[in-house]
């Protein structure tokens, strides 16, 4: 059977942090190859690598200085080819980050442009007047005060939506568009299975606008898609569009001419709000405003990633609530967001960690796991920027947690009584059948076995109690799932109404008391008695269990 777009599970990893195979203190591609069995064991099918190209690493690789290479710390193009082959042998596709919007200031194109050399004068966005495009918000509010920075060599200001050392490319220049399309072609012909397209709403600028989501930007993305369809039809494209659903929807295009997978940013903070309030209200609010993607397309959902937990797409009241609940100390905050990992955000509480994962896996869309979260890994808020959530993956309780043979790797593995490498390491959790790692594997396997999730119609039902989040997935006769989650710190009992004749089986449960099976003789409503402990959950399935 052909895979439905929502039936994809992704795993995101930072190569520098995953495993250092050559002992130089930095994770590398050969290290990822060594650990591919771990990735595959999670049951995921797309591996997303954070940027791997040459870079001064002032923004961990999102500051690219050569679009067609591999950072020497990470290895070579040959290593990448081997990684892709090894991943394919395990049924995994590999996508890489592609940073279209900007380059590093070290990039030879920018160095030529600031000196007006090599025909690159207009490859970046220059002005004499830094009040140009005044209606544009600043994204990195903690480190930048303007989207313009003065360049001494050129005697003009250049435009940057992110750090000042990341000048934006000028997409009005045909040579820039042609060059970046050629970069897309290069990697597809090389053999990557697709891209996570970084920061795509900001490619073009037009006076009098907010310089986001402009029609010209969609025009260029359609060119990217045409090229992808020509060079590698079916390649996996995932767009980073941190916008409201109505502004994000157009990036799907007509379903066949733009980006098939788009992150759903605004639902994510509302999962955290739901736990803080013990109420489904925020989840309901955003899902009611979430349009269905066109056929063949899917939202992509996540709990955490390599950035701060962004609070850009919430209301003022929600932001206040989330900061108070999850980032009481100022140093836990960054820009408009919270720079913490999943487990510490949830107080290392296993019940709440499971609940959030259970919600993630039953939302409409393809879920992403962030490396380390399968172990309940902690973070380090004493580190600057987002480094505290990009620390080494702990593999065992040996030196440097098995990450590196180097005595002083680029960052130390997290060492903390909760979520530190002594307990949050792969070997320890492999050995413990009750570990979070084993549970995450079971969770992904269960989700993948339920045809209705990812392929069916989705509804958020009214459970008659706002403490409960009740999702239903329906893929036609014989394939239904209802998933009920207790968002609150109190036990809740309910009678779950189901309306199909036949056998309902409980396929996943945590903190849930009730029968394992209920058989209904008719289409009339059957009631499943369920008691959910604080943060408990139970998924019920009617038919449609995939065995493949
Ligand atoms: C990435 C960030 C990065 C920024 C600038 C983002 O959206 O996820 O990590 O700093 O783009 O490239």
Q: Which atom of ligand 1 is nearest to the CA of 240?
A: 7
With respect to residue 538, please indicate whether it lies within any of the assigned structural domains.
Answer: yes
% pLDDT > 70, the chain: 99
pLDDT tens digit sequence for 35-82? 999 999 999 999 999 999 999 999 999 999 999 999 999 999 999 999
CA gap 507, 393 in Å, rounded: 31
Which two tokens mark 213? 């989501």
Pairing of strands 492-498, 526-542: antiparallel
Pocket, ligand 1, Cβ cutoff 6 A: 59, 62, 99, 162, 198-199, 240, 306-307
With respect to residue 269, please indicate whether it lies within any of the assigned structural domains.
Answer: yes
Using the mean position of ligand 1's atoms as its centre, give its distance from the Cα of residue 241 in Å: 11
Which helix (H) or strand (E) segment holds residue 301: the answer is: strand 298-302
Q: To test ligand 1's pocket by mutation, which of 307, 312, 336 has the most ligand atoms within 8 angstroms of CB?
A: 307
Please report which confidence band the pLDDT of residue 520 belongs to, taking 50, 70 and 90 as the band edges: confident
Average of pLDDT values for 385-406?
98
Name which of 497, 496, 487, 489 is nearest 467 in CA terms.
487
pLDDT tens digit sequence for 199-227? 999 999 999 999 999 999 999 999 999 99
Burial class (CB in 10 A: 0-12, 13-18, 19+), 52: buried
Using the mean position of ligand 1's atoms as its centre, give its distance from the Cα of residue 526 in Å: 49
pLDDT tens digit sequence for 426-482? 999 999 999 999 999 999 999 999 989 988 899 999 999 999 999 999 988 778 999
Which helix (H) or strand (E) segment holds residue 83: the answer is: helix 77-89
Entry pTM: 0.97
Name which of 3, 546, 40, 548 is nearest 260 in CA terms.
3
DSSP 332-349: GB-SSEE---HHHHTTT-
**What CATH number is given to the structural domain containing 137?**
3.90.400.10
- Point out the domain boundary residue: 119, 147, 168: 168
CA gap 28, 16 in Å, rounded: 6
**Looking at residue 201, what DSSP letter applies?**
G
**What CATH number is given to the structural domain containing 48?**
3.20.20.80
Residue of 240, 258, 318, 385 marked catalytic: 240
Name which of 44, 55, 54 is nearest 12 in CA terms.
44
94 shares a domain with 107? no
Q: Which atom of ligand 1 is nearest to the CA of 140?
A: 10
Residue of 20, 28, 59, 198 marked catalytic: 198
Helix (H), strand (E) counts: the chain: 16, 20
**What CATH number is given to the structural domain containing 497?**
2.60.40.1180
Name which of 155, 157, 149, 84 is nearest 126 in CA terms.
157
With respect to residue 548, please indicate whether it lies within any of the assigned structural domains.
Answer: no
With respect to residue 76, please indicate whether it lies within any of the assigned structural domains.
Answer: yes
DSSP 281-297: HHHHHHHHT-PPPPTT-
Tally of domains within the chain: 3
283 shares a domain with 231? yes
pLDDT at 545: 45
Assign residue 109 a region (left: φ > 0; alpha: ψ between -120 and 50; beta: otherwise). Answer: alpha
Please report which confidence band the pLDDT of residue 544 belongs to, taking 50, 70 and 90 as the band edges: very low
497 shares a domain with 429? no
CA gap 340, 326 in Å, rounded: 9
157 shares a domain with 23? no
pLDDT at 2: 58
294 shares a domain with 206? yes
On the question of pLDDT at 369 being above 90, the answer is yes
- Point out the domain boundary residue: 393, 421, 447: 447
185 shares a domain with 132? no
Kindly report the number of other CB atoms within 10 A of residue 457's CB atom: 13
pLDDT at 548: 29
Which residue range forms the structural domain that includes residue 139? Answer: 102-168
Pairing of strands 502-513, 526-542: antiparallel
178 shares a domain with 322? yes
Q: What rounded mean pLDDT belongs to the chain?
A: 96
**Looking at residue 383, what DSSP letter applies?**
S
With respect to residue 547, please indicate whether it lies within any of the assigned structural domains.
Answer: no
222 shares a domain with 362? yes
510 shares a domain with 389? no
On the question of pLDDT at 92 being above 80, the answer is yes
Q: Which atom of ligand 1 is nearest to the CA of 62?
A: 12
178 shares a domain with 259? yes
Annotated catalytic, 499?
no
144 shares a domain with 14? no
31 shares a domain with 150? no
Annotated catalytic, 198?
yes
């Amino acid at each position: 059977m052909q895979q439905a777009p929502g039936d994809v599970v992704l795993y995101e990893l930072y190569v520098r942090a995953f495993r250092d195979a050559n002992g130089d203190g930095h994770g590398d591609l050969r290290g990822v190859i060594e650990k591919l069995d771990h990735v595959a064991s999670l049951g995921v099918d797309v591996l997303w690598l954070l940027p791997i190209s040459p870079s001064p690493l002032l923004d961990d690789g999102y500051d690219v200085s050569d679009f067609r290479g591999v950072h020497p710390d990470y290895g070579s193009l040959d290593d990448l080819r081997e990684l892709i082959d090894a991943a394919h042998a395990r049924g995994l596709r590999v996508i890489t980050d592609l940073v279209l919007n900007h380059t590093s200031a070290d990039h030879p194109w920018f160095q030529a442009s600031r000196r007006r050399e090599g025909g690159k004068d207009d490859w970046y966005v220059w002005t004499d007047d830094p009040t140009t495009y005044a209606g544009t918000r600043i994204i990195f509010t903690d480190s930048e005060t303007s989207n313009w920075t003065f360049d001494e060599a050129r005697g003009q200001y250049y435009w940057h939506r992110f750090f000042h050392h990341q000048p934006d490319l000028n997409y009005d220049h045909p040579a820039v568009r042609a060059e970046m399309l050629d970069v897309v072609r290069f990697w597809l012909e090389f053999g990557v299975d697709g891209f996570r397209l970084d920061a795509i709403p900001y490619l073009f600028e037009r006076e009098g606008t907010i310089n986001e989501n402009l029609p010209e930007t969609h025009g260029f993305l359609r060119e990217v898609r045409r090229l992808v369809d020509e060079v590698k039809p079916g390649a996996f494209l995932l767009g980073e569009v941190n916008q409201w659903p109505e502004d994000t929807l157009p990036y799907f295009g007509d379903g066949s001419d733009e980006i098939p997978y788009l992150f759903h940013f605004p639902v994510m903070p509302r999962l955290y709000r739901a736990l803080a309030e013990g109420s489904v209200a925020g989840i309901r609010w955003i899902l009611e405003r979430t349009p269905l993607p066109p056929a063949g397309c899917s939202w992509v959902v996540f709990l955490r990633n390599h950035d701060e937990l962004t609070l850009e797409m919430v209301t003022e009241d929600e932001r206040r609530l989330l900061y108070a609940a999850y980032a009481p100390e100022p140093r836990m905050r960054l820009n408009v967001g919270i720079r913490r990992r999943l487990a510490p955000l949830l107080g290392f509480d296993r019940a709440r960690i499971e609940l959030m994962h259970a919600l993630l896996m039953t939302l409409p869309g393809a879920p992403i796991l962030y490396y380390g979260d399968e172990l309940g890994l902690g973070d380090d808020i004493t580190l600057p920027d987002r480094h505290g959530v990009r620390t080494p993956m702990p593999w065992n309780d040996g030196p440097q947690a098995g990450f590196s043979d180097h005595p002083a790797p680029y960052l130390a593995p997290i060492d903390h009584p909760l979520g530190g490498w002594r307990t949050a390491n792969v070997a320890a959790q492999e050995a413990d059948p009750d570990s979070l790692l084993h549970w995450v594997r079971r969770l992904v396997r269960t989700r993948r076995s339920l045809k209705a999730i990812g392929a069916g119609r989705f509804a958020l039902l009214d459970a008659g109690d706002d403490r409960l989040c009740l999702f239903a997935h329906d893929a036609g006769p014989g394939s239904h799932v209802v998933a009920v989650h207790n968002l609150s710190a109190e036990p809740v009992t309910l009678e779950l109404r189901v309306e199909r004749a036949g056998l309902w089986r409980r396929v996943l449960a945590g903190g849930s008391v009730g029968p394992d099976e209920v058989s209904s003789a008719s289409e009339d409503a059957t009631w499943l008695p369920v008691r959910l402990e604080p943060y408990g959950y139970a998924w019920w399935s009617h038919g449609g269990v995939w065995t493949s």
